Structure 1
Amino acid sequence: MGAGDGLAAYSKGAGEGLAAYSKGAGKGLAAYRWVQERAWLHVARVQERAWLHVARVQGGGGLAAYSKGAEEGLGALARVQERAWLHIARVQERAWLHIARVQGTAWLRKGAGRVLLEAHTTRNRVIRVRFYVRDLMMMSEDKIVSELAQQDVIEAKFITRYSEGYTSDTRDHNAYRDMRLPGSVAVAVAVVVVAMMVMAVKTATPIESTQTTVASRILVVDLFGTRSHKNFIMAIAEELAQRNHKITYLTGFESTHIRPNVREVYIPNTNFFNSLSNLFTSNSWGITGDALRLMHTSCAQGLVSPKFQSIQDEKFDLVILNVVFSDCFLLYAYTNQIPVIYVSANQVQSMYNDLAGTPYFPSIGGNHFLDLEFPLTFTGRMFTVLVDLFAATWGYWQYIPSMDADLRSRKLFPDDVPSLAELRVNSSSLFITNSVRTLETPAMPYTPTVVHAGGIHCRPSQPLPQDLEEWAVGSGTEGFIYFSLGSLVKPSDMPEKYRSVFLKVFSSLEQRVLWKWDEETMEGLPPNVRLSKWLPQQDVLGHPQLRLFMTHGGLLSLQEATYHGVPVFGFPVAVDQRTNIKKAQREGWGRALSWEDLTYDTLRNNILDVIQNTRMRVEVVRRSGVMRDQPMSPGAWTTYWIEYVIRHRGATHLRCPAVHMPWYQLYNVDVWLTVVAVTGMLLLLVFWLAYGCLRCVFSHCLARTKSKRD
């Protein structure tokens, strides 16, 4: 059916179409809504050639005749909207819901729906519509005015009855049932409706969410993590504050920075990392052991601190806990019936899968701290299982019971409060992880309770301070290198033997070096090296003349390097830094060097190799594109799900039942053992029967042979 035939069908069925429109309390616009995503997206592409021409005709008096007494063109419709379209808005709960139920069936066979369906189904028919549009453009203004002038009286009656007849479904039906409009009027109405639809499509903007959440009061507990943990969690708090939520942020680090809608409450003597000794000379396992011995008491110290006691009577709508050593605050959330969300500044690990409410598969991911490469070998899977088993045993038999006992001995909560072990499994509504899901290797399965917020702290670079910008630009075509060991490590604690190697290598390079150092000066500093106590790291990483990022391998630093497309050269010091930088090396956009292997040759050769390695730069630029290619920004995505939990009072319907299942049921161990046992018994039975049959046969044969001999 061509465009002309389609419009003829529209004209012929105008009475039926408009009657059906009134029956459905707005069926004409139902067709409009249905085709808004499909047919009229094509119309929008040709609107500058067609409908803008129509608009010019309207301005010249084309539709002025259409509505006698109106000021000009669609002015009449603008006045009618106060009585008609606004009335439609009042009845839309009945109208649009009804349209949604029927729009895919009968309505598409009537009136304008026939033309729209023809335009949507095949490309050839769309082309025919285009030809009709071209013909419409070629139609003279006088001809349009003449066509419309012939229907002045009928149109005026139609508009009047259209606007006044919307008081009820019955009145609408009768008004339009009695109206039988000639074909030219139907064409004019079609032009007006189509023009309005195209205008709506043109002015439409993408909508991320139609849900709104009233500003809430949120308590964030981040007393026991590192400064990098705070950088990640504070980025989430700032996103929520921008949505007008009121944030109370408990922290173990002093801060003078003032953020709108964020109230930082510093609680001293709670953060273990404030008292760390020289990390260059300390043993990582020793640091971990010290932390494990202190953590169950440090959490209780936060609960009993005067500053928390002064705010604990305030009403909060949500509690966000850093997953590191914050479990004692579950009792506070439970007694006040507040939903809880856990936040991890790292990826989901085996020790937190129960908090995340997601199954864990050690055969795929491996233990994060073992630095294993996928696919795991049998040995790798064995080590992963043993380490995970040790962590689970220690957590549920030592850490949680000792913290629970400490809290109850202090009489902080009533005896009828469930144990911490129960609250850990039953309280968490979401688990926010600092990981970019599309960059995880291997890809892991997750339940809806896991929200990926990796890169939430990343942002486009801004211009550097003037003096630093001049220094960076002065590096010329060779560019400059940025060297930072993060916030956990104190650079001046670096042993002299390592510092002297860096200075010798830097002095031999053609590139300039920007070194984050915690002191004003340094003995023997080469002229091409600049020191600074603080630097806007993301602005430095986004500078076009940066050639290399030398880093300690912190997760946030590596995410920022990925975001800005900069290859890395890492010197891991403690915690998970070795795992992070080794992973970057395996993925082909970084290089790792242990401090024990640091010499003049190894350092210089690796620096030059990374700078000159085009494959590394291509890979990190590719990863940057993947990281940025998300349906929503990490901030918008995370904020949506946090507000979702607030709106749905904890959103317990998101939790996977696997969390409450014994491991042998979750992984069907009992089923497989039964299958193996039954199969083994059947095989034994078959073997026994076969053995018996063969024995009988041989016995019979031997007996016959013996009888013949006798």
Structure 2
Amino acid sequence: MMVLTQEVIRQLLAQTFILLVIPNLAFGSRILAYVVTPSYSHQVVFRPLWRELSLRGHNVTLLTTHPMNDPALTNLTEIDLSSSYEVMSRGLSKVLTSEVNPFTSMRIYIDTFNDVMDHQMRHPFVQDLLNNPSMEFDVFLLESMMAPAVAFAKRFECPLVGFTSLPAIETLNNYMGVPTHPVLYPDVLLPFDKAETLPERVISLVYQLFMQLVTDFYVHPIQNVAIERYFGKGYGTVHEHVANTSLMIVNTNSVLGRSRPMVPTVVQVGGINRAPPKPLAEVPESHVCSLIIPHLQPLKTILDTSTDGFIYFSLGSNVKSKDLPPQTREVLLEAFAELPYRILWKFELDDLPKKPENVIISRWFPQTDVLKHPNIKLFITQGGLQSMEEAIFEGVPMVGMPVFADQPGNVQKMVRKGFGLYVNIWGLEKGALKQAVVEVIENPTYRSKVREASRLALDQPIGALELAVWWVEYVIRHKGATHFQSPLRHISWCQYLLLDVIAVLLLVIVLFLTVTYISIRIITKYIRKVLFQPKFKSE
């Protein structure tokens, strides 16, 4: 029989605390997440994170333009912002359908992003969330921290965690205290991943300085005004919120990207959305053009019977094949007709005039499952990071036809690593496309290199999803992770580049040389006066 002594009671209370309180701290937290960009490729990357956090017992409120609508996720509340797709499409239509200069593209991106944010922040559900005095959260996760929405962290007095579906731009790396170098680490939006030539080094340096100035003196002032408009006075600036960010989760992998020094507050989770293998789903009948097959067949049957192999062609979720210039589509069709392979083309209409018999079109294909199929020979891609990562993970070589944003740089990296070839979509020629396709398929070097990269990228001590979840819960447990912040966050560019030290040293050298020069002049003048002064006889 146990005697309830004071010590026993103390131990029982301690055990009760552990059993009742600790699980609530670890698994019952309130999480607010906001995925800003109206693009499926941006939204889908972190879906596994929201799902896993919800399944672990956290109450997740997700602002998204592409809700999952999964009734099994009872702890997940989604605020549907899909109406902002129209704003995004309207703003980027020119960039996605023609080649424009980088400065025009940048202005369009900035203006479109501001329009999207304005549309989303004015959404009734967002306003209800913002103005509800009873709402409380333990952490706020935000895509693309350069946004007025960073003030949600101040509104709910909780830590801020940023995340990005792409490698972070150098401006964001600067704010996170990541060591940067324009030669070793050009910005991801530049069309090269290494500044090897003198012109590339000049371009990289000027671009990074220019983007920093644009961010500090154009983008941030606009967003600071937006913060005051949506949240009121006293909510700080974008720069202040970013400087206090606890963590940044980045969808990148050092093996697939580039090796560079990192800080503890930047967590790399490349491949976080990689799905486990599963049987190929049947493509919906309403989506598949059945001109080449008398009776519609399941996709798995179509691919299994492609004994000579097949090619998968997709321009991603932002670029629509149906919007390509007519001459570009004509070149694609002519080139595909001369290839001995079946072509799966993600095309957004039910009919494609002059379509050859070896081409199958569909509004949607299960891309991950298609890339896993053993008969696939090649992936023709626009160079989106998620698409290329999926291809690399499955060991599929590529032909890249980049359109905008980070795609040219992604394709350049892919070519440098020997995973495939580049083709210019804006000046597309049948011969060049066909030659690139045949070269990549028939030369085993490309497939060998991409398979080796796949083995290296997948050989990790911990899964990307598990790593992301652990760090989010770490921030919740410790109410932030500012103790990991890099000291580079709190010093100026002048101090980081030692410009003040160099200036002092130069000043000392100049003063020393000046004093030395003056001293030499005085001494020389004195010596001349003493030695060469004319002597006069006294009278």
Shorter-chain TM-score bucket reads 0.7 to 0.9
Aligned amino acid, residue 265 of structure 1: I
Task: Give 1:583 shift.
Answer: 1.6
**1:278-357 alignment to 2 at 5 Å?**
279-281=96-98, 283=100, 285=102, 286=104, 288-296=106-114, 298-312=116-130, 313=132, 314-323=135-144, 327-357=147-177
Give secondary structure in 2 for the equivalent of 1:637. helix
2:399 to 556, 566, 569: 569
1:264 to 70, 78, 85: 78
Structure 2 partner of 1:361: 181
Structure 2 partner of 1:517: 347
Contact residue 379 and residue 391 of structure 2 kept, 8 A? yes
Contact residue 31 and residue 140 of structure 2 kept, 8 A? yes
Structure 1 partner of 2:415: 585
1:446 maps to 2:277: no
Structure 1 partner of 2:293: none
Give secondary structure in 1 for the equivalent of 2:360. strand
Structure 2 partner of 1:220: 33
Task: Give 1:324 shift.
Answer: 6.3
Instruction: Go from structure 1 to structure 2 and tell me whether the alpha carbon gap of 1:546 and 1:695 turns closer, same or farther (over 3 Å shift).
Output: farther
Q: Distance in 2 between matches of 1:588 and 1:510?
A: 24
Q: Distance in 2 between matches of 1:685 and 1:346?
A: 55
1:252 to 65, 79, 89: 65
Aligned amino acid, residue 33 of structure 2: V
2:250 to 433, 436, 440: 433
% identical equivalent positions: 29
Structure 1 partner of 2:288: none
**1:302-701 alignment to 2 at 5 Å?**
302-312=120-130, 313=132, 314-323=135-144, 327-408=147-228, 410=229, 412-426=230-244, 428-441=245-258, 443-465=259-281, 467-476=298-307, 478-686=308-516
Instruction: Go from structure 1 to structure 2 and tell me whether the alpha carbon gap of 1:629 and 1:695 turns closer, same or farther (over 3 Å shift).
Output: farther
Aligned amino acid, residue 334 of structure 2: K
Q: Distance in 1 between matches of 2:200 and 2:528?
A: 51
Contact residue 216 and residue 245 of structure 1 kept, 8 A? yes
Q: Distance in 2 between matches of 1:288 and 1:371?
A: 14
* CA root-mean-square deviation: 3.0
Task: Give 1:561 shift.
Answer: 0.8
More divergent stretch after superposition (293-302 vs 380-389): 293-302
Is there any run of 5+ residues in structure 1 with no aligned partner, and where?
A: 1-86, 94-209
Q: Distance in 1 between matches of 2:150 and 2:521?
A: 64
Task: Say how many residue pairs are matched.
Answer: 495
Q: Distance in 1 between matches of 2:309 and 2:328?
A: 24
Question: Comparing both structures, which one devotes a greater share of its residues to helix?
Answer: 1
Q: Distance in 1 between matches of 2:176 and 2:246?
A: 8
Higher relative contact order (CA 8 A, sep 6+): 2
TM-score (norm 2): 0.84
Q: Distance in 2 between matches of 1:694 and 1:679?
A: 22
Structure 2 partner of 1:124: none
Q: Which runs of 4+ in 1 moved over 6 A?
A: 691-704
1:273 to 85, 88, 104: 88
Contact residue 339 and residue 650 of structure 1 kept, 8 A? yes
Give secondary structure in 1 for the equivalent of 2:37. coil
Contact residue 358 and residue 449 of structure 1 kept, 8 A? no
CA-to-partner distance for each residue in 1:120-163, whole Å, 9 max, x for gaps? xxxxxxxxxxxxxxxxxxxxxxxxxxxxxxxxxxxxxxxxxxxx
Instruction: Go from structure 1 to structure 2 and tell me whether the alpha carbon gap of 1:504 and 1:418 turns closer, same or farther (over 3 Å shift).
Output: closer
Q: Distance in 2 between matches of 1:257 and 1:505?
A: 42
Instruction: Go from structure 1 to structure 2 and tell me whether the alpha carbon gap of 1:269 and 1:516 turns closer, same or farther (over 3 Å shift).
Output: closer
Task: Give 1:429 shift.
Answer: 0.8
Instruction: Go from structure 1 to structure 2 and tell me whether the alpha carbon gap of 1:689 and 1:217 turns closer, same or farther (over 3 Å shift).
Output: same
Contact residue 225 and residue 324 of structure 1 kept, 8 A? no
Q: Distance in 1 between matches of 2:332 and 2:355?
A: 10
Q: Distance in 1 between matches of 2:340 and 2:385?
A: 29
Task: Give 1:306 shift.
Answer: 1.4
Contact residue 355 and residue 431 of structure 1 kept, 8 A? no
Q: Distance in 1 between matches of 2:364 and 2:354?
A: 21
Aligned amino acid, residue 98 of structure 2: T
Contact residue 277 and residue 369 of structure 2 kept, 8 A? yes
Aligned amino acid, residue 217 of structure 1: R
CA-to-partner distance for each residue in 1:420-444, whole Å, 9 max, x for gaps? 3322322x11111111023333x22
**1:40-189 alignment to 2 at 5 Å?**
none
TM-score (norm 1): 0.64
Give secondary structure in 2 for the equivalent of 1:649. coil
Aligned amino acid, residue 469 of structure 1: K
Q: Distance in 2 between matches of 1:589 and 1:432?
A: 26
Task: Give 1:273 shift.
Answer: 2.1
Aligned amino acid, residue 676 of structure 1: L
CA-to-partner distance for each residue in 1:21-44, whole Å, 9 max, x for gaps? xxxxxxxxxxxxxxxxxxxxxxxx
Q: Distance in 1 between matches of 2:158 and 2:144?
A: 17
Instruction: Go from structure 1 to structure 2 and tell me whether the alpha carbon gap of 1:492 and 1:372 turns closer, same or farther (over 3 Å shift).
Output: closer
Task: Give 1:510 shift.
Answer: 1.7
Q: Distance in 1 between matches of 2:190 and 2:234?
A: 40
Contact residue 144 and residue 164 of structure 2 kept, 8 A? yes
CA-to-partner distance for each residue in 1:324-381, whole Å, 9 max, x for gaps? 66x2222232032111111112112222124434343223202222223535444433
Instruction: Go from structure 1 to structure 2 and tell me whether the alpha carbon gap of 1:440 and 1:523 turns closer, same or farther (over 3 Å shift).
Output: closer
Task: Give 1:393 shift.
Answer: 1.9
More divergent stretch after superposition (568-577 vs 291-300): 291-300
Q: Distance in 2 between matches of 1:703 and 1:298?
A: 85
Aligned amino acid, residue 601 of structure 1: G
Is there any run of 5+ residues in structure 2 with no aligned partner, and where?
A: 1-7, 15-22, 283-297
Contact residue 190 and residue 406 of structure 2 kept, 8 A? no
Task: Give 1:257 shift.
Answer: 5.2
